[in-house]
Amino acid sequence: MDGITRSLDEQALVRTAHRVLPAGGFGNFASDIIIREGRGGRVWDVSGNEYVDYLLGSGPMFIGHAHPEVTEAVLAQVPRGTTFFANNEHGIRLAEVIVEAMPCAEQVRFVSSGSEADMYAMRVARAFRGRDRILKFEGGYHGMSDWGLMSLAPKRLANFPTAVPDSAGIPKSARDEVLVAPFNDLDAARALIEAHHDELGGVILEPFQRLIPPAPGFLQGIRDITAQYGIPLIFDEVVTGFRFAYGGAQSYYGVTPDLCTLGKIIGGGFPLAAIAGRADIMAHFDRGIVGDDGFLMQVGTLSGNPVAALAGLVTLEVLRRPGAYEQVFASGRTLMSGIDGMLRKAGLPAQIVGEPPLFDVVFSAEEVRDYRSTLRADAALQKHFNTQLRAAGILKGDSKYYMSLAHTAEDLEQTLQAFAGAIAALPRKVG
């Protein structure tokens, strides 16, 4: 079944990893595969096995691995210095491009990771609003901070708005600072915001939650109720920024928040993220405007790193070219349509959930609208397909096909053939 072979060198590296790294990895992906290189829409492991890559580094490589223009620019910058802890031209130019692209962005503050961006976005909203509590949506991922790791994937379900920590080591007091609402339930969210509006420093959500698109009117309804009470609305666009459209999900869905967070694509494969938003809120990063009491300290050794900023600038220049997004959407639709047809023909209880640049199969006949509906999917079927796909040279995460500008017709055909093989390999029921 498995067309993947492991060299002695890779097996030795895996053993070393399990000796020196907790659980044998970096905390991200499966520890039994070690990637050596990537080009375009494909990667190779240390054993030389080749994969069509829908992991894409968890999304940053939207124009493909080792894009020649990005590589050329980075190699030209490295001899000139890799970090300065001071303003640099590339970072300033990238901030200007973000302000021009994102509807909510009047100013930008750079950090190094999406987790940092989300943490600071919540903090600056609280500073602006003068309130401590944050409302988020169950199943929404907002990084690794204490507040972000509330009710992302709770193993036990609680009554809303009770927050459930997703990690050990989170202080009990942090639970009281987060309220949780069900995604795509506007009535429930509106009722919670109305009941707690005097306590809320901000509302944060992924406009496209993991795989789940917003229901018609949901985002606009949240925008309206937060605006009514003057509560900053934060769109976490670390994943969707520059992926669904050049202006992000806020442009794609036509709803403008007060703040957004960005990451992944804006760094072109290097560590870079940002908070962007209204100037009067972003002013809390400027002591000269808000004074000592309103000032939000934010310092990062690599914030606005010139190599990362330049890689991001080149990436965004590629995405501005005519036809770029049309190509990504067309590739995504080809896979979605082909997979859906096979699922229907096989009579499997499954559906495609997501948008063409980012989607997956959910093995459930029930409509997927929120986190709790995903729990009723068939996890064993999902595992079977992911295992079979990887054996056929298709690399993806547990959930998500990340599409890229670099995926070719050959990549898509190989993927569809692998999916057909995974259906054929399903255990047959007897009797």
Identify whether 236 is a catalytic site residue. Answer: yes
Nearest to 40 by CA among 405, 326, 409, 389: 405
Q: Cα–Cα–Cα angle for 150, 153, 154, nearest 5°? A: 75
Q: Cα–Cα–Cα angle for 311, 312, 316, nearest 5°? A: 120
Residue pLDDT, tens place only, 226-244: 999 999 999 999 999 999 9
Residue percentage of the chain with pLDDT more than 90: 96
| Marked catalytic residue, from 264, 370, 400, 411 | 264
| Marked catalytic residue, from 53, 185, 236, 360 | 236
Residue pLDDT, tens place only, 310-326: 999 999 999 999 999 99
Q: Quick check: 175 pLDDT over 70?
A: yes
Predicted pLDDT of residue 179: 98
Predicted pLDDT of residue 1: 37
Q: Quick check: 50 pLDDT over 80?
A: yes
The pLDDT confidence band at residue 427, using thresholds 50, 70 and 90, is confident
Residue percentage of the chain with pLDDT more than 70: 99
pTM score: 0.96
Q: Quick check: 429 pLDDT over 60?
A: no
Residues 6+ apart with CB under 8 A from 224: none
The torsion defined by the Cα of 391, 392, 395 and 396, in degrees rounded to 10, comes to -90
Q: List domains and CATH numbers for the chain.
A: 68-319 (3.40.640.10), 323-405+414-425 (3.90.1150.10)
Predicted pLDDT of residue 2: 54
Mean pLDDT of 245-269: 98
Spatial distance between the Cα atoms of 9 and 319, rounded to a whole number of angstroms: 38
Which 3 state secondary structure label does DSSP give 273? strand
Q: Are 234 and 205 in contact (CB under 8 A)?
A: yes
Q: Quick check: 164 pLDDT over 60?
A: yes
Identify whether 141 is a catalytic site residue. Answer: yes
Predicted pLDDT of residue 386: 95
Residue pLDDT, tens place only, 348-402: 999 999 999 999 999 999 999 999 999 999 999 999 999 999 999 999 999 899 9
Spatial distance between the Cα atoms of 136 and 180, rounded to a whole number of angstroms: 5
Q: Are 360 and 401 in contact (CB under 8 A)?
A: yes
The pLDDT confidence band at residue 3, using thresholds 50, 70 and 90, is confident
Q: Quick check: 430 pLDDT over 50?
A: no
Q: Quick check: 431 pLDDT over 70?
A: no
- In the sheet with 178-181, reading across from the earlier edge strand, the strands are 107-111, 273-277, 259-262, 233-237, 200-205, 133-137, 178-181
Mean pLDDT of 2-28: 91
User: What separation in angstroms does the CA of 110 have from each of 201, 239, 253, 299?
Assistant: 22, 16, 25, 10
Nearest to 242 by CA among 395, 429, 60, 40: 60
User: What separation in angstroms does the CA of 102 have from each of 250, 261, 340, 358?
Assistant: 8, 11, 33, 20
Q: What is the mean pLDDT of the chain?
A: 96
Residue pLDDT, tens place only, 92-144: 999 999 999 999 999 999 999 999 999 999 999 999 999 999 999 999 999 99
3-state helix, strand and coil shares in percent for the chain, rounded to the nearest 5: 40, 15, 40
User: Hey, what amino acid is at 74?
Assistant: V
Q: Quick check: 157 pLDDT over 90?
A: yes
| Marked catalytic residue, from 51, 54, 120, 141 | 141
- The DSSP code sequence of 301-344 is TTTT-HHHHHHHHHHHHHHTSTTHHHHHHHHHHHHHHHHHHHHH
Q: Quick check: 274 pLDDT over 50?
A: yes
Residue pLDDT, tens place only, 176-209: 999 999 999 999 999 999 999 999 999 999 999 9
